[in-house]
Structure 1
Amino acid sequence: MTIDPDTFRAVLGRFASGVTILTARDAAGRDHGMTVSAFCSASLDPPLVLACVDRAARMHDLLLDLDRVGISILASGQEALARRFAELESDRFEGLGYVRGESGVALFDGALAHLECRVRDRYPAGDHTIFVCEVQRAVARQDRPLLYYRGGYAQLDR
């Protein structure tokens, strides 16, 4: 049975998810980042998360070679930040507030949570690669999350 891509996208759009920005720093010290909504926890022991990245994404090949990433889980007021890192801007970091994690990755001010991770495994999966990351540091704060639902950003009312 073959599923039409538009139908598949519409069905999966009914699944609300959090919004993250995945960041990395290349060997020359340049920051890279992208918005990722295909993110979830994978294991508590050891602490693992996974992020699915389209193989056509500009950051994909860089992630194949790097072993450290940062993940900022976005708060409800950070839709503009999510959009900025979903588009093809040349310097997405210019003028933004962020801190450097212990591993050197950028972690965004105001985020609901930060994770610093070591990329542990990479698995091809259709037109994406699944990056399994071991969490080395994690910090959370109280706020409401930014959500992605039916092709757009949404807020949690409670």
Structure 2
Amino acid sequence: MNISSPRAEAREFDALHFRQALSQFATGVTVITTRLADGTFRGLTASSFNSVSLDPPLVLWSLGTAANSLPIFSGNSHYVINVLGAEQAHLAKLFSRRSEDPWNGVEFELSRTGQPILKGAAAWFECHNRSRYPEGDHVIFVGEVEECACAPQSPLIFHNGQFGALR
């Protein structure tokens, strides 16, 4: 089933105003990780994570079309979505930088398919890279969860441009 609608009416706001309005929605924070064929690890911070379906178990996240890591995540068969706990803001900041290798000193273990799982994460989801949908200036990734685990704790949240925690 393909559901489409005619284009929306002309907008009377700019991108900055839209971004400011979006910043009022508190989100969880994740680090999406994967391993390349040559053994190199890659990861990035994302707050665009959500559940899609329980049967089959599907989740989604999105990545900007201008991101250097888009070909990496588009081309790999698997990735792990690591949901960060309140004490892991340093990891969110580390994996959001483009200029340095974030893996130096980061503790992780490998999933059954060899993907990095960050130690101390509140939850993780190992996903088969099921589908990708280009929409606007992003690509929506839908992952089929093959394995997951959780260690319940206070989540790291992002709101109004700041990291915080629910207590």
TM range (shorter): over 0.9
For these two proteins, the number of residue pairs brought into alignment is 157
Structure 2 residue 69 is the aligned partner of structure 1 residue 66: no
CA distance, structure 1, for counterparts of residue 141 and residue 36 of structure 2: 17
Q: TM-score, normalised by structure 2?
A: 0.91
- Identity value in percent: 37
CA distance, structure 2, for counterparts of residue 62 and residue 68 of structure 1: 11
1:154 match: 164
1:55 to 41, 65, 74: 65
Structure 2 residue 132 is the aligned partner of structure 1 residue 110: no
Matches within 5 A, 1:20-35: 20-35=30-45
Shift of 1:47: 0.4
Residue deviations 1:10-64, cap 9 Å, x none?
1111110100000111111100000000110011110000010011112111111
Structure 1 segments unaligned to the other structure (5+ residues): none
1:89 match: 99
Deviates more, 1:58-67 or 1:14-23: 58-67
For the aligned residues, what is the CA RMSD?
0.9
CA distance, structure 1, for counterparts of residue 104 and residue 138 of structure 2: 28
* Higher Rg of the two aligned structures: 2
Matches within 5 A, 1:12-23: 12-23=22-33
CA distance, structure 2, for counterparts of residue 146 and residue 36 of structure 1: 12
Shift of 1:125: 0.8
